[in-house]
């Protein structure tokens, strides 16, 4: 096989398979981060509600 054919196959592999996998992994990590922030927000609301109820 010629060298240009091997390089073309490797570049197609990287473009069609590896890049979408990297992008999906990054978006999955971002969604997990957002879920953690939502959990923190809910916990903060819960604590605030408890302290408000103790004052009344």
Predicted confidence at residue 12, as pLDDT, reads 92
Query: Rounded to an integer, what is the distance from CA 43 to the centroid of its chain?
Result: 22
pTM of the model: 0.46
Per-residue pLDDT at 53: 81
Position 55 scores a pLDDT of 63
For tokens 């004052």, name the residue.
55
Predicted confidence at residue 18, as pLDDT, reads: 86
List, for residues 1-47, the tens digit of each pLDDT value.
Answer: 799 999 999 999 889 998 888 888 888 877 777 778 888 888 999 99
């Amino acid at each position: 096989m010629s060298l240009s054919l091997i390089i073309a196959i490797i570049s197609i592999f990287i473009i069609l398979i590896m890049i979408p996998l990297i992008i999906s992994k990054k978006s999955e990590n971002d969604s997990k981060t957002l879920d953690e922030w939502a959990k923190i927000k809910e916990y903060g609301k819960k604590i605030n509600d408890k302290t408000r109820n103790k004052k009344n």
